[in-house]
Each structure stands twice: as structure tokens, then as C-alpha cells.
Amino acid sequence: MRGIGQPSARSRWILGLLTAATALCTTASEPTYAAASGASAEPIVRTTTGRYQATADSDGTLAFKGIRYATAPVGALRWQPPKAAPATREPTRAAAFGPACLQTGAPSAGTPATSEDCLFLNVWTSGLERQAKRPVMVWIHGGGFRSGSGNIAGDRLARYGVVVVSINYRLGPLGFFAHPDLPSDIANFGLLDMVAALQWVKDNARAFGGDPQNVTIFGVSAGGQAVALLMASPQAKGLFHKAIAQSAYATWALPRNRSAAVPAPKGQDLGPIESAEASGQRLVERARRDARLTGQPNSSALRSLDGQALVDAVQGFQLPIVDRSTLPDEPAIVFRRGQHARVPLLTGGNSYEGSVMPESGIGTEDFSNMLGADFAALQRAYASDFSVDPALGVRRLFGDYRYLLSASTLAHANARVGQDTWLYYVDLAAEQRRPQWPGTPHGYDSALLFDSDTAAPEATRQLGERLRKHWVAFARTGNPTAASGMRWPAIEPDTLRWMVFGNLDVVRDDVLAEKLELMSARYRKRLPQ
């Protein structure tokens, strides 16, 4: 199953969306590069995990694909923090993506191979001069933490003068898991994979012409949520300097394990929040039942379970876990306390985020019931959508409540601690796709960034180019305004100003204002007293 917010092959996106040290060198801590020997002019870069030979795109961009940044997390290393990969002895031609991590859904034509051995990253750069100090942009893929990969067209951004890195990280219960039979209280192994990849970037950015002191993390959907998680996690401190959280869901309730701090926030229905261990037990029971296994599992038996069976047992999206050590609390709560990474932040979402609701595992009736007594007021606020179709109304409400509430909450909190913060809202609707697309669907900004300069309609190509320029300007200077003559103001601590992207771009302060006020009041009911 293809991940939400995860770019596919370029043509498929366009048709579907709008038509420790190197063994051979004692100075591994100082990566460098050299020209390859023989007939090939493709350079070889020396990193802390080995030497890698580039492949060159037609525009001169250099690509390094399938670089291992951590040891295979298999066997006894399943549900363990990632372990540093030993350096390879021979140069490797980095021409192919590594396997994607095990994920839900059967592989189909055009999708990458999957494996539990999946901790690979990819790098694109327009040059290897160490003095260039290009901004580094680390892409974290989406997919509900249950699918996706770092297999992107990274050259689309690298040609703007940045170093682009994409990563794989463990997914589903292999990446985010708690169980009574596991002795460790650490639950977010996929998050620690991201931290390990960022450490690799810090150690090796100079070898690719990048600046390790100017790293921007960015991602869509689960990738945007990962940005919020990294900003909230003490493990990632100092590993990045700017953040772009696209369609994050930092205000959404997360399960908590036995080590999570108390008092806990309430769940989405304002009842007790879910136990991560109980959820893990139910998932293991489903996987064992499907495999027709009997007897009681222990930690050894858990690690011997078929990995594909475990990820296939996921129902709906996989959720990260509040475990205190890697994630002190839900990201928005950490932000509200001012305990997050204080870096410039660009965050926002799209005008029809609710398009993702069928993939979430939450039905329209379930969500309406979840909101309880607050549903009536929210329904009135979305009267125009409900008048067209009640299902459309619930989906629109779901998308705004899950993603746009997160953006506004994170933005307010980051501005309050004195950090420059920008908000965006993509509202480019395809007339030929109405009424299926009553707005810009969830994850579409990913396609705009990586696939919009091929066969897309003119308006889409132009918006994709504008987004890339804004994102790169933010990575370079910490201010997205530098991308064009139009001023994009940072928000004030108590005033939201949105850059609304569409056929024309305009700054507005009235985006979802009444609706966000109602949703914020609902969210505050969840917070611990």
C-alpha cells in the first residue's frame, strides 16, 4: 500500500494527481571525496560508513543512493535503538535505493522492495566542494508511520543549490511498539532511526558540499509529524537548525507506555488515553492468530515473529508512543510548555486534508461520536460542507481538526518562545477533479515539491516551483520571503497570518479562524490539569 504523503513514481503522481570509522582511513571523522579511477568520471565520497561512488543526473546533480546509516535492526536488534553501521572496506557505487522498511500492503508493480533490513539514506547534491556550505534539507517521508520510503526525486530540490537527504526508518510496530514482555521502556525505535540518520548527516554533510550547521528537517503527514516529534525529543537536540512540518498532527492523542509522565492528557473522546502496552498486546494477538501460533509469547518469541505479519496486523495508522525518554509527551504539549527545540518553524496544511480520512481507520460516525457534545457546534461551523454531503462535512472537519489545528497550535507555541514562525495553507483545487476534490487533498504538497515540473497543468507547475523556492529560501536563510518579491510575514505570538497558496498567493489572517477557535477549545479539554 502506498504511503500517505509519500511521492510515487513521477508519472503515477501526475496522472493520479492532476492528469564507525572507515576501515581504509584513519581520518574517517573528516569525510572527503576523490575522482573515481578508470574510465568513470563519477566521484567517490568518503564517509564515516564507507566510500560511495556517485551517479550523475542529466543536469549534473550527483546522487548517492542506498547508503547504510545503521546496522540491520533484525534478530536480537529488533526493538532496540539503532546501532552504528561498520564502515565498508570497498567503494560502493551508490546507484540504487536500499530496500524500504517492511510495511502494510502487498508490494505492487513499481513499488520498492521491502525488508526489515532497511536503514538506508540517499543524498543529492549539485557539487562536492567543501567550502560551498550548501544548506542541507533532510526529507522524512509520510505514510501514517506504516508505509512509505525515502525513494524520492531529490534532484528536484538539489538543483536549487541545497543538499537533499532522504531516509528510511522503521515502520508500524517494528518502529513504534510497547509490550509487557519487552524490558525496555523505549518505544519509538523509528524516531531513534531518524536521530541516527541526522547524526550521520552531521558527521558527513561536508563531504557532499553541505553545511552541518545549517540542517533543515521537513516532511509531509507522518513526515510532518516526525518533524514535530524530533522538535519535542531530547534525543535530537542540536541535530537540526530549522524545521518544516507539513500536515503534522501534533495535537492528536497518542498512546502512552508505562513510563509516560502523569497526569496524562485525555483521549480524543475525552476519556482515558490508550495504553501502548495493551495496544501492543492486541496487535501481537492478531499477528499470532493469523499465523496460527499458540502458547504465550516472551521477548524471544516476539523477536522471532514474522515481521511482515506484525506490520500487516496494524489497523489504521500507526501512532508514535509517549515513552518519556524519546518522547516526553505529545508534541503539542511539549511545545506549549516551551520545552521543544527552539528553531525557526514553517508549518501548515491543505484545504481538504480530510481526503485522508478513509485511510485512517476512523469512520465518519466514529469521529462524530468521538467529538461528543462538541460535535453540534462544529457541525454548524461547517454547515456549507454538511449541506452538500454529511460525509463531506465530517471529512472536512476531521482533516482540519487533525492537521490544521496542529499547525496553528505549534505556530503559536513556537512564536511565544521568540522563534520566527511562518504558516501556510495550500488551496489549489483542480476544477476537473470536482467534486472528488473539494480543495487540495492531504499530501498533495509532497507532489508539488517533487513531481510538479513534469506533465502537470501550468498552475500546478508554477505553484510547485514557488513552493520549492520558498522552502529552499527558508532552509538557506531561515526566512521563506527571500524566495520572491512578495513579503511573507512571520506570525505574531497571538495572531495567525497564513500564506495562502493557490493560483495566486495572498497573506490572510482569517483562514479557518472561527473553526480553529472551536477546535482549540475542544483540544484544551484534553490537556492535563
Burial class from Cβ neighbours inside 10 Å (0-12, 13-18, 19+) for residue 14 reads buried
Residue 393 in this model has a pLDDT that exceeds 90: yes
- The candidate with the shortest Cα–Cα distance to 335, out of 224, 411, 265, 420, is 411
Burial class from Cβ neighbours inside 10 Å (0-12, 13-18, 19+) for residue 402 reads buried
Quick one: pLDDT at residue 486?
76
Q: What is the DSSP letter of 475?
A: H
Quick one: pLDDT at residue 133?
96
Angle between helices 458-477 and 444-451 (to 10 degrees): 90
- CB burial string 288-305: b at 16+ within 10 A, e below: beeeebeeebebeebbeb
More confident residue, 23 or 278: 278
Quick one: pLDDT at residue 456?
73
Tens-digit pLDDT profile for residues 337-382: 999 999 999 999 999 999 999 999 999 999 999 999 999 999 999 9
Q: Residue type at 206?
A: R
Rounded distance, CA 101 to CA 191, Å?
14
Confidence band, pLDDT 50/70/90 cuts, at residue 485: low
Tens-digit pLDDT profile for residues 262-276: 999 999 999 999 999
Residue 523 in this model has a pLDDT that exceeds 50: yes
Active-site residue 221, yes or no?
A: yes
Least confident of 66-70, 144-148, 484-488: 484-488
Beta carbons of 327 and 321 less than 8 angstroms apart: yes
More confident residue, 444 or 15: 444
Tens-digit pLDDT profile for residues 100-128: 999 987 666 567 899 999 999 999 999 99
Confidence band, pLDDT 50/70/90 cuts, at residue 294: low
Mean pLDDT, residues 50-71 taken together: 93
Backbone angles phi, psi at 115, to 5 degrees: -160, 155
Distances (CA, A) of 96 to 55, 112, 136, 312: 9, 11, 21, 26
Residue 16 in this model has a pLDDT that exceeds 60: no
Helix (H) / strand (E) element for 220: namely strand 210-220
Task: Write down the catalytic residue from 126, 147, 166, 221.
Answer: 221
Tens-digit pLDDT profile for residues 181-238: 998 899 999 999 999 999 999 999 999 999 999 999 999 999 999 999 999 999 999 9
Helix (H) / strand (E) element for 333: namely helix 331-336
CATH 3.30.70.3040 is the classification of domain 10-258+319-526: no
Beta carbons of 423 and 414 less than 8 angstroms apart: no
With cell 534525543, the residue in question is 235
Quick one: pLDDT at residue 470?
95
Following DSSP, what letter does each residue of 385-450 receive, concatenated? HHHH-HHHHHHHHHHIIIIIHHHHHHHHHHHHTT--EEEEEE----GGGTTT-SSPBTTHHHHHHH
Helix (H) / strand (E) element for 123: namely strand 120-125
Mean pLDDT, residues 432-448 taken together: 85
